[in-house]
Amino acid sequence: MRLSRAFLPTLKEIPAEAAIASHKLMLRAGMIRQTSAGIYAWLPLGLRALKKVEQIVREEQDAAGAQEILMPTIQSADLWKQSGRYDDYGKEMLRIRDRHEREMLFGPTNEEMVTDIFKGYAKSYRDLPRNLYHIQWKFRDEVRPRFGVMRGREFLMKDAYSFDLDAEAARISYKKMFVAYLRTFARMGLKAIPMRADTGPIGGDLSHEFIILAETGESQVYLHKDLLDFDVLAQKPDYEGSLDPTVDFWTSRYAATDEMHDEAAWNAIPAAEQVSARGIEVGHIFFFGTKYSAAMGLSVTGADGQPVTPQMGSYGIGVSRLLGAIIEANHDEAGIKWPDAVAPFRTAILNLKPGDLSTDALSEKLYAALAGDAVYDDRPDRAGVKFNDADLAGYPWQAIIGPRGAANGIIELKRRATGERVEVALEEALHRIMAP
């Protein structure tokens, strides 16, 4: 993307209600624009980062054996009356009437709808286990939408739903998602810690929240330091075999949010091994047995010919919230420091003197070689403006091309996360930028 033609509206004046770094930075860098309270439009830079996050979520769901579908945002109230949640959900649910005065709603989650869809096809034990997920916009009329995309009213969620024949099989489905979640967040450069959690309005008796550590997080969390040292990606997931070792490790060490905190268990941990921190909930998984399948009449024929009510779980990831969370965990005074895997563009090429034959030629060559995964700052602005904007938007690499270097084919490469700089020729610059 050439900045001279890009729709990348950086902001100098930040609205007073932007209280935390990620919200301020997303507005300043021109990633999002608020259109109503808690509702945002995604601008080109923000949308690219959102798509990167979404794709990592998708790949790990697919790898764990879940299958992608896409359910609508608008649902019929009838489904929710069947499960009994229509009245329970209260003012958080946005209720709508169509032209025939039929009661509809903008979905805050999809347990009812997916159970109804599955019920239309699943007849026998051979139709299970299955795990269906989608990545779709949700609406919850939060009392206090705040912190930008972190607590929005309209937000993008990945929600998966598992169907199993018995509780033991359902716990295996739960563990697969547990491992897939650890991998998903690790690939985004985040340390996400699973913590036993309350089940709230979703229900059930087994639940984990995945919390990433960040100073501005909404929850206070307590954990054993071993959990911070574990390298999730060094382990190859074994979704066909037994998943116990990984999950057992995570569940064997203390980790709790404020609500579930147990002072006695905490005090039993040596002080040097205790970590207390602030955290952001980026995912939440639930096992709730037959709560929805029974209420909605989902039943299949078991191997012995008897009817079986499937055991279910649901698994959510806050895809749009993750953008805020990643920025909370990766920024400094100057702006965002994107982890490579989720950066909207990997490189910013800063041509310090557009119109100069050698800077133009070298910049164009690098831009072509980076094949779309770069912004090219070809604007006729001062160098200082370009440096500031590149730091603010947080591209992992800056390729700085000035007339003196360019005359000798030299590019100054800056790593945004560390501030490290080297002067290299084009081939070497490409080599470093492309390195995995």
- Enumerate binding residues for ligand 5CA (CB under 6 A): 109, 111, 140, 142, 151-152, 155, 157, 159, 202, 281-284, 286, 314-316, 318, 320-321
Select from 62, 33, 65, 61 the least CA-distant residue to 47.
33
301 burial level (CB within 10 Å; 0-12, 13-18, 19+):
middle
Nearer to ligand 5CA, 293 or 320 (CB): 320
Bridge partner list, 193? 211
Q: Residue with CB nearest ligand 5CA?
A: 318
162 vs 347 by CB, closer to ligand 5CA: 162
Which is nearer to ligand 5CA, 154 or 377 (by Cβ)? 154
Closest distance between ligand 5CA and the C-beta of residue 172, in Å? 18
User: How far apart, in whole angstroms, are the C-alpha atoms of residue 426 and residue 153?
Assistant: 46
Cβ proximity to ligand 5CA, 19 vs 303, nearer residue? 19
Coil, strand, or helix at residue 54? helix
C-beta of 140 vs 187, nearer to ligand 5CA: 140
Question: What does residue 291 show for φ and ψ, rounded to 5 degrees?
Answer: -50, -50
DSSP assignment of 315-379, as one string?
EEEEHHHHHHHHHHHSEETTEE---GGG-SSSEEEEESSTT-HHHHHHHHHHHHHTTTSEEEE--
Find out whether 159 and 313 touch, Cβ atoms under 8 Å.
no
Which is it for the CA torsion 195, 197, 203, 204, positive or negative? positive
Nearer to ligand 5CA, 184 or 363 (CB): 184
Shortest Å, Cβ 109 to ligand 5CA: 4
State the nearest-atom distance from the C-beta of 223 to ligand 5CA, in Å. 18
- Type of residue at 375: V
In the bound complex, what is the minimum distance in angstroms from residue 9's beta carbon to ligand 5CA? 23
The least distance separating ligand 5CA from the CB of residue 126, rounded to whole angstroms, comes to 26
Q: How far is the CB of 159 from ligand 5CA (least distance, A)?
A: 3
Q: Is the Cβ of residue 316 or residue 402 nearer to ligand 5CA in the bound state?
A: 316
> How would you list the strands of the sheet with 410-415, edge to edge?
374-377, 347-351, 397-401, 410-415, 421-425
Count Cβ neighbours within 10 Å for each residue of 213-247 and write b for 16 or more, e otherwise: bbebbbeebbbbeebeebebeeeebeeeeebeebb
Maximal C-alpha separation, the chain: 81
For strands 130-139 and 67-68, give the pairing.
Answer: parallel
Shortest separation between residue 160's beta carbon and ligand 5CA, angstroms: 7
- Give me the least distance between CB of 240 and ligand 5CA, in Å please: 24
**Residue carrying the six token digits 């420091």:** 337
84/403 with CB nearer ligand 5CA = 84
Side-chain-side CA neighbours of residue 417 (13 Å): 11
Shortest reach from residue 186's CB to ligand 5CA, in Å: 16
- Tokens describing residue 182: 């650890």
Q: Considering the complex, what minimum distance in angstroms separates the CB of residue 38 from ligand 5CA?
A: 7
149 or 413, CB closer to ligand 5CA?
149
* Least distance from ligand 5CA to the Cβ atom of residue 192, Å: 11
Count helices and strands in the chain by DSSP H and E runs: 15, 23
Residue closer to ligand 5CA, measured from CB, 148 or 394: 148
* Nearest CB to ligand 5CA, comparing residues 52 and 414: 52
CA-based end-to-end distance of the chain: 22
| 358 token code pair | 């050698």
